[in-house]
Structure formats: C-alpha cells, structure tokens
Amino acid sequence: MSDFLHNLHSPLFSGMTPEEQQAALHCIGYHIGAFPKGSIIALENDNIKQVGILLSGAVDMIKEDIWGNRSLLMRIYKDDLFGETFACGTDSQSVVTFTVSQDAEILFLPFCKTMCNCANNCGHHHKVIENMVRVIADKTRELLRKVEVVSKRTIRERVLAYLSIQSQLQKSRYLELPLGRLELADYLCVDRSALTRELAKMKEDGLIDYDRNCFRLL
C-alpha cells in the first residue's frame, strides 16, 4: 500500500480518521497508478467510470476545439478529485481530456461503489457519499469562476477578473499564481504573446506589478 494512503487529506475523506479512511477504501475497492508528465489519463469522449484522487503531482483538465486550440479549464493538485462530474451523470462520456502536467500518482475509485451503500451499511461509507456531494458542488463553483473570467471581452478584463478571484481566495493583494504564462494563457483562452504584451501594458499603467508568478495589485 502506498505511503500516501496511511492518512489521506482528500476532501472526499474529510472528517474521517485514518482508520475510517482505510475501512472505506477496503469497502469501496481501489487501485493506484503512476503516470509520468505528458501522460493522458482520459481522452475526450472516453467513458468515465472511476473517480481519481491525486496523491502527488498535477493533472490538467483540457478542452480542445476541432482546430486544435487548447483551453485549460482547471489544474488539479494533490488531494483533489477529478472525473466525478462525468462519472455521476446519465451520460458518463467525458467532454474534456485529462493530462498529467507533473509526474503523478493517482488513486482510482469505482464511482458506482463509492456512491452506493455497501451491504454492511457502514457509517464511514455514508460519510464518503456526503463528502462527494460537497466536492461536486465545490467543483461546480470553481468552473463558474472560470466562466466569469472568460466571459470578459478583452485580455485586460480577463486578467483583472482572474487576479480579483485569486486575491479573494488568497485574501491578499500580493499573489502567487499557480499557473505559468503558457498555462495562464490557456486558462484565459488568449494568445500567450498577446497576454505577455498586455501584462506589460498593465504594469506601465500602474494596475499591477509582477515578477514571474508573483503579482501585486496596485
């Protein structure tokens, strides 16, 4: 058993002791996979039957159009879940691609067993189901933030909307962004060069100051 499983910090197991976590995993069943950077976990149109919990590394949720233009919908980090939105739907077909952006170890749980009470009707399994509902609600809120950002018309408006959200989340005007320039451009659905030019203009206009991924709102 991976060392990560001795005390999981995933929101799916929130409010549970390590012993209850282990009992829940035994009840549900699981397997662990290791994936190098660049690996594809699931392609668009794949049927998603499992929920992934990131034990280490990072996974990107990517959407591509028919011309090959990429949009980064979300970056998933350690302890976060992915795939639950599609696995719980009437149609389990994914509309995005999940790719590994940092070498990752992933715990996979069968969604049907995760969300259905076991024969023993155990309390820790009930807690997992409650937590899953909260996780799905939180993920929906995060995607709504993305919609709020990309609904802006100009690059400047999108940058300001994104920085405003990060400022609220980090409770500071001094921000360390989780995305590099290329990933930020993909997230904002803009050209990387155009983003770089606009950031420089915003700095000249006294709106922001920055050094690499560290930003300050002026």
DSSP 139-173: HHHHHHHHHHHHTSSSHHHHHHHHHHHHHHHHTSS
* Amino acid at position 98, single letter: F
Q: Please compute the mean of the pLDDT values over residues 11-37 and round it to a whole number.
A: 91
Q: Where in the chain is the domain with CATH 2.60.120.10?
A: 3-139
Gap between the Cα atoms of 116 and 73, Å rounded: 29
Spatial CB neighbours of 206, under 8 Å, sequence gap ≥ 6: 218
Q: Which CATH architecture has domain 3-139?
A: Sandwich (2.60)
Bigger pLDDT: 69 vs 123: 69
The answer to whether the pTM exceeds 0.75 is yes
pLDDT in tens, 109-137: 998 888 876 666 677 788 888 999 998 88
How would residue 140 be classed by pLDDT, with cut points 50, 70 and 90? confident
Q: Six-digit token pair at 151?
A: 């609904």
**Nearest residue to 44 via CA among 26, 56, 23, 61:** 61
Tokens representing 26? 């035994």
For residue 183, what is the enclosing H or E element?
Answer: helix 181-188
Task: Give the residue-averaged pLDDT of 47-69.
Answer: 91
Please tell me the least confidently modeled range out of 61-75, 161-175, 204-218.
61-75
Ranges in the chain annotated CATH 1.10.10.10: 152-217
> CA-CA-CA-CA torsion for 75, 80, 81, 82, nearest 10 degrees?
10
Task: Give the amino acid at 51.
Answer: V
Q: Which residues pair with 53 in a beta bridge?
A: 81, 107
pLDDT score at 90: 76
> What phi, psi does 173 have (nearest 5°)?
-90, -10
Residue holding tokens 């070498």? 103
In CATH, 152-217 is 1.10.10.10: yes
Residues composing the chain: 218
What percentage of the chain carries pLDDT values higher than 70? 94
**Residue 191: band (very low, low, confident or very high) from pLDDT cuts 50, 70, 90:** very high
8 A C-beta contact, residue 79 and residue 57? no
- Tell me the pLDDT band of 1, cut-offs 50, 70 and 90: very low
Beta-carbon contacts of 9 under 8 Å, excluding residues fewer than 6 positions away, are 79
Residue 142 pLDDT > 70, yes or no? yes
Which residue in this structure is represented by tokens 């155990």? Answer: 122
pLDDT at residue 4, rounded to an integer: 59
Q: Of 37-41, 81-85, 116-120, 176-180, which gets the smallest average pLDDT? A: 116-120
